[in-house]
Structure 1
Amino acid sequence: MKFIKYRILFVVAAGLLVSSCDKQAFVDINKDPDALTTIPPQNQFLNASVSIHSQDFEAFYDLYQRIMPWMQYTTALNGNQGAFTQNWDNFSQRYGRLYNGVGDRLYDLEQLVGRLEANEQARYVHMIRIARILKAYYTFYVSDIYGSIPYSDAFQGRYGGTLEPTYDSQQQIFARLDEELKEAIATLKAAPTVPQVSLGTYDQYYGGNAQQWVKAGNALRLKIAMRQLKADAAKATAIINEVLAQPAADLMASNADSWIFVARTNFTGNDNGSNWNPSNLRAPKPIVDFMWANQDPRIDAFFTPNSYSQANINLLIANGQLPAGTQEPARRYVGSYTNPDDTRNNAIIQRFYTPRRVTNNGQEIQVDTLSFIQPRLFSAIFTDASGNVGTGRSYLPVITYADYCFMRAEVAARGIGTGSTKEWYEAGITSSINWYNDIAVGGQFTNYTPVTPAEITAYLAKPAVAFDASKALDQIASQAYLHFLKQPSEGWATWKRTGFPNPTSTVPMPTLTNLGATLVIPRRAPLGIPNPSSPNYANRQAAYDAMAQIAGFGRDPQDATGRVWWDRP
């Protein structure tokens, strides 16, 4: 398959990080806003985008330990254990980053521009709008699982604004973000009165290309609107129709339009011991079984084959652990049980969770029946079993073209907008397969075979995959769920928003039980308990009191099984 070349932008010297002089400048501006004049505005855009994607604690706690097991994207080494859905310690990591690393940096950018001469300010109109699109994304990302958060008068403390910001409701935030995105898109589309200063290599997504940011902004408007389909169907539908009425040139049309942060190898970890390390994440049985049965071309981009290579089998034969003549199995992609009650079954433990061990040249080898998550999908530098250190690229998506296609397929299936549900559904699958192929090649995945067009055609013809209008929403959501292995938060949102996957959907997600009791999957972030001595206690408590009126909010603010405004029954 032809490899699609993504935008690879490199920042010299300190890689994606600022220089030591700039670091000192950032210390200075925390004390003196006037020190901002020494920093180019685009620096703050780069720092904000790096801050969004460099959160190794979020990778470890939020994704690996929480959302991925909850959504059955992975299991622990011995399968999911006990009442694991009731543990949400250290979840989530995204809230504080909005106010210390992302939103504040992007607000700084505007303040920096505002200190320039008037004729110079006119040259930064596009940069400010691009920064607002990025700020809108991350604000949405945080509110998505927290509900009400400070926004309208946040980020202003160092510039004479309030240090006790009010909390905007999620409904207010989503409405304001849509207004800001709409204005940013319109401004980026309009011919500027003077030549614009480009973000260039400070923009790791699109290199400062304004038209690409128009497409990204429209895709984000679509995503935020779709979150609201149950909470405010009329408004959501109006926004969706408005977005889809935009000229084709303003909407995503291929994988080249995907909103992705592409970085150096060690951006996602320096070695196999970092928080990015996914080496203990098992491949899940429900997804592996579906992909294997339907010959999904993404299976080797998602997961690793088990240890039963012919070489290891020969060692086991020589050690008397297998009969002579044993051959490598045709199937080496085997998933781990996601249900805790299954992992208590002695027969399952013996068959799947008791690896054979054999010594070769003085080194013990563990021959494991089960597969793992493809490690370089999450940590490009990962050292494989042969001792080869990864040297490929790191890919961190925001909104991919496949995601956009699945949104288009879903709204068409719901009778909103125009377009063929079947065509958008198939485009979503095709672009997802091609995108994972591209990042598997670019990320130098071990044991990976590039995809061929014939494999995609064959997959689309499989009975469980071929479009069936009678179960369109099931199929669309199931395929989107698969695509979001790289973005588990979006897979989680898809499940909350659509009810798919579920135990009987195209791609199944079995009911989880512990000692016979059904486990409840969390739906939002637990909210910290307000401290009455905190300066902003009154505003925070008022927000909590208001959210408590939401149907299904939960027994208290810390109940992660409760719901936020958009997440309606």
Structure 2
Amino acid sequence: MKQSNYKNLIYGLIFLLMLASCNKNYKEMNVNPNGVSAAAPERLLNPALYAVVSANINWNYSINNQLMQVTVPFTEANDVHRYILKPSTSDFVWNAWYLEKTNFLDMYSIASKNASSTTVAAKPYMAIANILDAWTTSLITDTFGDVPYSQAIQGKSDAQFTPVFDKQEDIYRDIFRKLEEANKLLTGLTSGQLFTDTQKGLDALYGSSSTNVIEADRWRKFGNSLYLRLLLRASAKSDIMIDGLTAAQKLTQVAASPGTYPVFVNNTESAILNLTGETYPLRSPFAGYRDNDFQAVGSLSEFFVNTLSSNGDPRLPIWATKVNNAYTGIQSGYADNNVPARGSSFAVSLKLDPLLGNIINYAELQFILAEAAVKGYIPGDPKTYYNQGVQTAIEQWRLTMPANFLTTGDILFKSSGTQSEKMEQIITQKYFATFFTDFEQWYDYRRTGKPSLTIGPGVANNRILPTRLYYPIGVQTLNRTNYLDAVARLGGDNMVNKVWWQKP
């Protein structure tokens, strides 16, 4: 159900004030006045992780999928596919991410108070908090650019209600520091490291509902795979250093050191919060949708359907419906008063699929390595990584890759092609590997200009696919001085100016 812009504004202001002054979080909710004075850090993990993943699924469904030509709405009232987004769109995105970032920071803080203890119990909690904070922070800054970071979420502790906006390059530098620290903290820990809390099922990502252990090795691989994603995103920039290395050089080091920086080695290690359909606590965000409501987001686009169909991709039948016994996409960015006939929609079975909880998977990692090899950051044949990415992206969806799939048509890797042609293939297949994954398709397009999308006749924003979202209305109003400073650095609060890692 849509809300009016007035309601969006009011809710945005309320949430911002909550973040700045109240700092309500799961730690306070779990305090027992007759018992312990603070929550066990692991009690913060599942609720905050689930909240971020759920929010990401919803925004992928309503924003990313239209921008990146996965879906096209049936009506002209929904204009995201034509690059028409309002500042109020940003309010819920900003507020939800910052709220859960608070919980990850609290998790680290609570655990670190025990760091001097003889037990090693503090280490995994500190590492997990760093990984999830780095992930959430990357989403915030990659969506908006310069954002509050060093002074953020200090309303309660330091009466800091108008935090400065840190430069994105400084934020990335600290993200990398946190991922380095997480890797070191998890080094040498076993997968049987016990939580301090005796309740079972406190790690919904890698744990088991029947145990209370930390899968330290898997969390470590998640952190380092995320590290490679973000190093690649910053790899064209040379103005930050990590251990005396540029982002590209650090990527080379991490990729070449599996003993020091272990990463995913198969699909089972992917960071996917497997949703549980209609049952709590990992209930699908779409569990309350009727089938028609789930499909009402729109038809699938020409690009999405035609690319899968022309390649004989086995994922098409489990992702899409047929219209008149055929898979049919419609034009994205259609002109005013020219709404196309309905085409294929999302398959109803997707609504409750546990794989919608994807954070970063093994196939994406393979495409990261394929691009790194194409650009000379790492040795090896990019075709090997590319082929592995294509195959495992299909297998992740419980399917078998067709025979000869890698040797036919547009799937066959162009080993003798130009770098641009190789990048087109890699990013196109990565686009499908990151299906329903927050804004990853959009981030990749902004960074590489790929996959090559046909821009429709009815788009706005100077026919430029948005390079960022507007800052929220609440931020513009309540933190205006620092907002204006950030906007001045950016060159204007619009959707055509580029964030740091996009700039040449």
The TM-score range, normalised by the shorter chain, is 0.7 to 0.9
Matched, 1:87 2:84: yes
Asked if structure 2 preserves the Cα contact closer than 8 Å seen for 1:76 and 1:280, the reply is: yes
In the alignment, the residues of structure 1 paired with residue 459 and residue 138 of structure 2 have an alpha-carbon distance, to the nearest angstrom, of 38
Matched, 1:255 2:239: no
The amino acid that maps onto 1:133 is I
CA drift of 1:401 comes to 0.4
Aligned to 2:117: 119
Superposition map of 1:157-236 within 5 A? 157-160=155-158, 162-191=160-189, 197=195, 201-207=201-207, 208-232=214-238, 235-236=246-247
Superposition map of 1:68-83 within 5 A? 68-77=65-74
In the alignment, the residues of structure 2 paired with residue 33 and residue 113 of structure 1 have an alpha-carbon distance, to the nearest angstrom, of 20
Aligned to 1:99: 98
Superposition map of 1:401-480 within 5 A? 401-437=362-398, 451-453=399-401, 455=402, 457-469=403-415, 470=417, 471-480=421-430
Q: Deviations over 1:428-471 (max 9, x none)?
A: 1001101122xxxxxxxxxxxxx334x1x332121211110212
**Structure 1 residues 36 and 88: CA distance shift in structure 2, 3 A:** farther
Computing the radius of gyration from Cα coordinates, the structure with the larger value is: 1
Superposition map of 1:380-419 within 5 A? 380=352, 393=354, 395-419=356-380
**Structure 1 residues 36 and 397: CA distance shift in structure 2, 3 A:** farther
In the alignment, the residues of structure 2 paired with residue 34 and residue 547 of structure 1 have an alpha-carbon distance, to the nearest angstrom, of 50
**Structure 1 residues 112 and 407: CA distance shift in structure 2, 3 A:** same
CA drift of 1:264 comes to 1.4
Asked if structure 2 preserves the Cα contact closer than 8 Å seen for 1:59 and 1:275, the reply is: no
TM-score under structure 1 length normalisation: 0.72
Matched, 1:282 2:282: no
Q: Deviations over 1:194-217 (max 9, x none)?
A: 965378622221122111111111
Aligned to 1:66: 63
Give the 3-state SS of the residue equivalent to 2:274 in structure 1.
strand
Asked if structure 1 preserves the Cα contact closer than 8 Å seen for 2:57 and 2:437, the reply is: no
Please point out which of 336, 342, 347 is paired with 2:330: 336
CA drift of 1:40 comes to 2.0
In the alignment, the residues of structure 2 paired with residue 458 and residue 211 of structure 1 have an alpha-carbon distance, to the nearest angstrom, of 35
Asked if structure 2 preserves the Cα contact closer than 8 Å seen for 1:397 and 1:487, the reply is: yes
Aligned to 1:446: none
Q: Deviations over 1:177-230 (max 9, x none)?
A: 1011011101211359x9653786222211221111111111111111111133
Give the 3-state SS of the residue equivalent to 2:89 in structure 1.
coil
Gaps (5+ residues) in structure 1? 1-23, 309-328, 354-369, 381-391, 438-450, 503-508, 549-555
CA drift of 1:253 comes to 0.9
The amino acid that maps onto 1:301 is I
Asked if structure 2 preserves the Cα contact closer than 8 Å seen for 1:42 and 1:109, the reply is: yes
Please point out which of 454, 477, 483 is paired with 2:433: 483
TM-score under structure 2 length normalisation: 0.80
CA drift of 1:272 comes to 2.2
Aligned to 1:541: 484
Aligned to 1:441: none
CA drift of 1:158 comes to 3.2
Asked if structure 1 preserves the Cα contact closer than 8 Å seen for 2:82 and 2:332, the reply is: no
In the alignment, the residues of structure 2 paired with residue 69 and residue 339 of structure 1 have an alpha-carbon distance, to the nearest angstrom, of 9
Q: Deviations over 1:395-442 (max 9, x none)?
A: 3111110100000000001111122200000001001101122xxxxx
In the alignment, the residues of structure 1 paired with residue 292 and residue 84 of structure 2 have an alpha-carbon distance, to the nearest angstrom, of 19
Matched, 1:137 2:135: yes
Give the 3-state SS of the residue equivalent to 2:300 in structure 1.
coil
In the alignment, the residues of structure 2 paired with residue 564 and residue 34 of structure 1 have an alpha-carbon distance, to the nearest angstrom, of 49
The amino acid that maps onto 1:72 is Q
The amino acid that maps onto 2:273 is F
The amino acid that maps onto 1:204 is A
The amino acid that maps onto 1:240 is L
Percent identity over paired residues: 22
The amino acid that maps onto 2:255 is L
Asked if structure 2 preserves the Cα contact closer than 8 Å seen for 1:339 and 1:510, the reply is: no
Aligned to 2:308: 291
In the alignment, the residues of structure 2 paired with residue 163 and residue 121 of structure 1 have an alpha-carbon distance, to the nearest angstrom, of 37
Matched, 1:523 2:471: no
CA drift of 1:495 comes to 1.1
In the alignment, the residues of structure 1 paired with residue 330 and residue 76 of structure 2 have an alpha-carbon distance, to the nearest angstrom, of 6
Aligned to 1:563: 498
In the alignment, the residues of structure 2 paired with residue 64 and residue 400 of structure 1 have an alpha-carbon distance, to the nearest angstrom, of 19
The amino acid that maps onto 2:228 is L
The amino acid that maps onto 2:429 is Q
**Structure 1 residues 478 and 419: CA distance shift in structure 2, 3 A:** same
CA drift of 1:131 comes to 1.2
Aligned to 1:551: none
In the alignment, the residues of structure 1 paired with residue 110 and residue 404 of structure 2 have an alpha-carbon distance, to the nearest angstrom, of 54
Give the 3-state SS of the residue equivalent to 1:398 in structure 2.
strand
In the alignment, the residues of structure 2 paired with residue 342 and residue 158 of structure 1 have an alpha-carbon distance, to the nearest angstrom, of 48
The amino acid that maps onto 1:539 is N
CA drift of 1:27 comes to 9.2
CA drift of 1:281 comes to 2.5
**Structure 1 residues 168 and 375: CA distance shift in structure 2, 3 A:** farther
CA drift of 1:546 comes to 2.5
In the alignment, the residues of structure 2 paired with residue 540 and residue 195 of structure 1 have an alpha-carbon distance, to the nearest angstrom, of 44
> How large is the Cα RMSD of the aligned pairs?
3.5
Q: Deviations over 1:89-145 (max 9, x none)?
A: 342333212332x11112222333355695376422111111111111000111111
In the alignment, the residues of structure 1 paired with residue 133 and residue 484 of structure 2 have an alpha-carbon distance, to the nearest angstrom, of 25
In the alignment, the residues of structure 2 paired with residue 273 and residue 489 of structure 1 have an alpha-carbon distance, to the nearest angstrom, of 25
In the alignment, the residues of structure 2 paired with residue 495 and residue 399 of structure 1 have an alpha-carbon distance, to the nearest angstrom, of 17
CA drift of 1:70 comes to 1.9
In the alignment, the residues of structure 1 paired with residue 499 and residue 205 of structure 2 have an alpha-carbon distance, to the nearest angstrom, of 30
The amino acid that maps onto 2:179 is L
